[in-house]
Amino acid sequence: MSVPGLAISLWTPQNNSLPSSKELRTVPEDFRAILETFENQHPQRDYEIEISVPEFTSVCPKTGQPDFGTITITYIPESLCVELKSLKMYMQAFRNQGIFYENVTNEILNDLVAAMQPRWMQVRAEFTPRGGISSTITVEHYNETPPDELQVI
């Protein structure tokens, strides 16, 4: 049955192998170059910045299907803060990127830490359910040793 004006496109892998990263990559090789920073106006004070990206999109490298989620970045800045428009462009760069949930969450943390060197940062990725299963990945960076109550023994 067809519905006038409605087109549905499904991508199905031709074999069981994963698409290569080059097949799905449409973003710059150096994601960090997109990120811009500005001087922290209150470096003497520990304060928390929380940024929510509720419309994050990437692509499952196994199925080619889009993945949707909310990325929450929380950090205590040292001398630099991330500029929000550049962060938006950075996040949009993942839109057509074939990358697993765990990998994208760690890559975002790595890139932001490299750009800002914060005192502390957490990246939390909450992906929408697929097949009845939802995933939340949380990664953290400490500039120093974490407080005792947070240390894993």
Q: Which residues are annotated as a binding site for substrate?
A: 82-84, 101-102
Question: Which residue among the candidates 30, 46, 67, 148 is catalytic per the annotation?
Answer: 67
Measured CA to CA, the distance from residue 137 to residue 103 in angstroms comes to 10
| Residue 81 appears among annotated catalytic residues | no
Q: CA 86, CA 91: separation in Å to the nearest integer?
A: 9
Q: Cα(101)–Cα(107) distance, rounded to whole angstroms?
A: 10
For residue 60, indicate whether it is catalytic.
yes
Measured CA to CA, the distance from residue 39 to residue 27 in angstroms comes to 27
Tokens representing 85 are: 């428009």
Q: Is the dihedral of CA 72, 73, 75, 77 positive or negative?
A: negative
**Alpha carbons 52 and 55: distance in angstroms, whole number:** 9
Give the residue numbers of the binding site: 82-84, 101-102
* Residue of 30, 46, 60, 111 marked catalytic: 60
Q: Do residues 80 and 115 lie in contact, with contact meaning Cβ atoms separated by under 8 Å?
A: yes
Residues acting as catalytic residues = 60, 67
